[in-house]
């Protein structure tokens, strides 16, 4: 087996930890989306209530959310919620997530949510604990070890 064929060792992430990270990120995203939506009523004043304007506003807010996730995933592999819950996303081969892979993960994550969470529940059925969006985007969540380990050094007394 060549090194390219070997998969890196991952410590799988369970559903409760995923949900915890998602809840943290939702709280942060509420503030970001609120701030991003502040100028949107100006669009209503300019063009009125037209169906294409509603589409543009929704698409804009969806892109704001993608920039949050895609930016963190492609630059360090962790959103704020993922850092708090010690989770990191990488490509299946262990490399950093690219923007294109982040977009696939984001869009397939929307499918996981839109299917009443079935994409997330899928993680309960397989050994790797991979959700639909993990599989579709060829990414993997890993649980990171705790950094709060006690120091084993003894202090010298004078």
Convert the pLDDT of each residue in 40-59 to its tens digit: 988 777 776 777 888 889 99
Contacts of the segment 35-42: beta carbons below 8 A, 24+ positions apart: 36/60, 36/61, 36/64, 37/61
Tokens of 116: 């009443």
Q: Is the pLDDT of residue 3 over 60?
A: no
C-beta separation of 31 from 90 below 8 A: no
Going by the DSSP 8-state scheme, the letter that residue 122 receives in this structure is: G
Predicted pLDDT of residue 9: 64
Q: How far from 65 is each of 53, 100, 138, CA to CA, in Å?
A: 19, 15, 21
Helix (H, G, I), strand (E, B) or coil at 87: strand
Does the pTM surpass 0.85? The reply is no
> Measured between alpha carbons, how far is 83 from 88 in angstroms, rounded to an integer?
8
Task: Please give the residue that has the higher pLDDT: either 10 or 101.
Answer: 101
* pLDDT tens, position by position, 11-37: 889 999 999 999 999 999 999 999 999
Tokens of 62: 């969806």
Please, are residues 89 and 140 in contact by the beta-carbon 8 Å criterion? yes
How many Å from the N-terminal Cα to the C-terminal Cα in the chain? 56
Tens digit of pLDDT for each residue in 89-133? 999 999 999 999 999 999 999 999 999 999 999 999 988 899 999
DSSP state of 151: P
The Cα–Cα gap between 26 and 33 comes to 10
Domain ranges of the chain: 15-143
Q: What is the mean pLDDT of residues 70-78?
A: 97
Residue 98: count of CB within 10 angstroms of its CB: 13
């Amino acid at each position: 087996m060549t090194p390219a064929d070997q998969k890196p060792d991952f410590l799988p992430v369970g559903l409760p930890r995923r949900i915890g990270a998602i809840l943290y990120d939702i709280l942060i995203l509420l503030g970001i989306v609120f701030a991003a939506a502040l100028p949107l009523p100006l669009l209503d004043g300019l063009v009125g209530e037209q169906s294409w304007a509603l589409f543009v506003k929704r698409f804009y807010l969806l892109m704001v959310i993608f920039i949050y996730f895609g930016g963190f995933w492609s630059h360090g592999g962790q959103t704020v919620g993922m850092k708090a819950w010690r989770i990191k996303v990488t490509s299946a081969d262990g490399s950093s997530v690219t923007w294109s892979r982040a977009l696939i993960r984001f869009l397939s994550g929307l499918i996981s949510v839109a299917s009443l969470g079935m994409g997330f529940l899928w993680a309960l059925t397989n050994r790797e604990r991979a959700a639909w969006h993990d599989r579709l985007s060829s990414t993997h969540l890993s649980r990171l070890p705790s950094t709060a380990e006690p120091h084993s050094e003894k202090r010298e007394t004078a």
